[in-house]
Amino acid sequence: MSSPEKKRKKNTARTKNPSLKRSPLLPPTPQSTPNPTLPDDVLLSCFARVSRLHYPSLSLVSKSFRSLLSSLELYQTRSHLHRTERCLYVCLSLPPDPNPRWFTLCRRPNRNLTKKRKKKQSSNLLVPITSPHSTPVRPSFVVIGSEIYEIGGLVNGAASSTVSVFDCRSHSWRKAPNMLVAREQPYAKVIDGKIYVRGLEDLVEVFDPKTQTWNYESTEWKSLDDYYGIVSDRFFGMASRTSSSCVIDSVLYSYYKGEFKWYDKKVTDWRTLKGLWYSLPAFFSCSTTSSQIQLADYGGKMAVLWDRHDRSSNCKGRKVLCAVVTLERRTSEEIRGRVEWSDDSEAVLKVPGSVAFVGVVAATL
């Protein structure tokens, strides 16, 4: 009899012998294959059905994902599938940086919190946009589709006639034809797809994006306000004294002395926006220490942004907070607001120093 050691050696040699045939009863050895990939058109169709708020998270998956998410084909697919949505863009001044920076509102990539972590996180974030651009002081911002127009302002202390366009799809800037008149603090609004601009004077000029031309408008600004549904002296009177104001569906909304107010042609005086006193308690409690409040038309809803001291940074830093309010007109004299979502206790952005709102707009993507 052979020893156990000799049997083990014999068995080992047998398994290593390549001439031995594998039993037909055993399954074949699996072959290594590369990971399967989906065609780009399939991925584009999938991405187009996902809210754009999740795109920053998806872009972290791979370079190919990041490339597709920034392609113009994706937004063409979204439009074809009727999946466009309003996306919030915020321009902030962050000293000591002389150039304001643009941010867009997105979902936080990871909202799962461990039991050890007691501090609540906001479900939304302001994500910075990397697109070098020098923004003038006190420009006016308007939106046509997916493009933000930056109009006039101060450049090196002088009134500017320049117009720049930010494409929210490609996150790139381009120059548009200059205005006919330089304006240091222009007021612009879009009516029927054209941009109407007025400065401190009553002279109005109009830009047609289709022909890329500026022309003087003989129509008086007051008649434009009548068309737009508000009254000029009300806008430049009350609104100029508030922290912020915006026009949504022909109604002028303002935050003034701790209250949200609204005004349009159907009422004789400013009215209080009902329903928000108990919905945004943290907002009102911080209004005395907050340096600024910004309102914006967010696709028929009202976006509210404000800042306050960041206690975690020993009050040296600031944090930006955000809420979205849906608006319902009950009668000709009553409009109620309902908070759709609010990050009224945690920040969508924290900065180590001071912060100032330059502009808040919503584009369609």
Q: Determine which helix (DSSP H) or strand (DSSP E) holds 78, and give its type and residue range.
A: helix 72-80
Residue 4 in this model has a pLDDT that exceeds 60: no
284 and 343 together in one domain: yes
| Residue 122 included in any domain | no
Check residue 3 and give its pLDDT.
56
Query: For the chain, what percent of residues have pLDDT higher than 90?
Result: 38
Check residue 82 and give its pLDDT.
86
Question: pLDDT by residue (tens digit) across 75-130?
Answer: 889 988 988 999 999 999 999 988 899 999 998 876 554 444 444 556 889 999 88
Question: pLDDT by residue (tens digit) across 235-283?
Answer: 444 444 444 788 898 888 988 777 898 988 888 888 999 988 766 655 6
Question: pLDDT by residue (tens digit) across 183-192?
Answer: 988 888 888 8
Return the amino acid letter for 31. Q
| Whole-angstrom distance, CA of residue 357 vs CA of residue 166 | 18
Check residue 237 and give its pLDDT.
46
238 and 349 together in one domain: yes
Return the amino acid letter for 42. V
Residue 226 in this model has a pLDDT that exceeds 70: no
Residue 294 in this model has a pLDDT that exceeds 80: yes
| Whole-angstrom distance, CA of residue 215 vs CA of residue 195 | 11
User: 262-270: long-range contacts at Cβ-Cβ below 8 A with a sequence spacing of 24 or more?
Assistant: 262/335, 263/230, 263/231, 263/234, 263/238, 264/229, 264/230, 265/226, 265/229, 265/230, 265/231, 266/332, 266/333, 267/332, 267/333, 270/238
153 and 215 together in one domain: yes
The pLDDT confidence band at residue 20, using thresholds 50, 70 and 90, is: very low
| Residue 246 included in any domain | yes
| Whole-angstrom distance, CA of residue 41 vs CA of residue 45 | 6
Contact in structure between 130 and 101 (CB atoms under 8 Å) = no
Domain that holds residue 328: 231-353
238 and 226 together in one domain: no
Note the pTM of the prediction, 2 decimals: 0.80
63 and 173 together in one domain: no
261 and 323 together in one domain: yes
